[in-house]
Amino acid sequence: DQQVKQNSPSLSVQEGRISILNCDYTNSMFDYFLWYKKYPAEGPTFLISISSIKDKNEDGRFTVFLNKSAKHLSLHIVPSQPGDSAVYFCAASAPNQFYFGTGTSLTVIP
């Protein structure tokens, strides 16, 4: 029973264009959402997060949007760069509950 879902296993985008990665969740008790980036043979690294009381958080080229009514969040990367090519995991948490999505592999084509 996947509580956090990333329905797109892969995404390819041209350099300079926008990348949009999507994530859906089922548990309305989740109160904090995070995106992690993972390169091959490395552990995931934190990218950006958002509290459930907000609907948008921005950090440089990265913006996360949260739609609580739809139980949906998305990560926008603009402009996309070749170094952004990695697997992106979304994660959701409530006190002592932590769930990750299955990941989306982003390829940015030069």
Partner 1 sequence: NAGVTQTPKFRVLKTGQSMTLLCAQDMNHEYMYWYRQDPGMGLRLIHYSVGEGTTAKGEVPDGYNVSRLKKQNFLLGLESAAPSQTSVYFCASSWASGGSTDTQYFGPGTRLTVL
Where along the sequence are the contacts to partner 1 (CB under 8 A)? 4, 6, 9, 31-32, 34, 36, 41-46, 49, 51, 89, 91, 93, 95-96, 98-103
Q: In whole angstroms, how close is the CB of 17 to partner 1 at the nearest point?
A: 26
Q: In whole angstroms, how close is the CB of 60 to partner 1 at the nearest point?
A: 17
Q: In whole angstroms, how close is the CB of 62 to partner 1 at the nearest point?
A: 15
The answer to whether the beta carbons of residues 93 and 32 sit under 8 Å apart is: yes
User: Distance of CA 87 to CAs 48, 95, 101, 108, Å?
Assistant: 14, 26, 11, 12
Q: Which is nearer to partner 1, 32 or 62 (CB)?
A: 32
Q: Which is nearer to partner 1, 7 or 14 (CB)?
A: 7
Q: Which is nearer to partner 1, 62 or 78 (CB)?
A: 62
Q: In whole angstroms, how close is the CB of 57 to partner 1 at the nearest point?
A: 11
Any long-range contacts for 54-61 (C-beta under 8 Å, 24+ apart)?
A: none
End-to-end Cα distance, the chain: 37
Tell me the residue length of the chain: 110
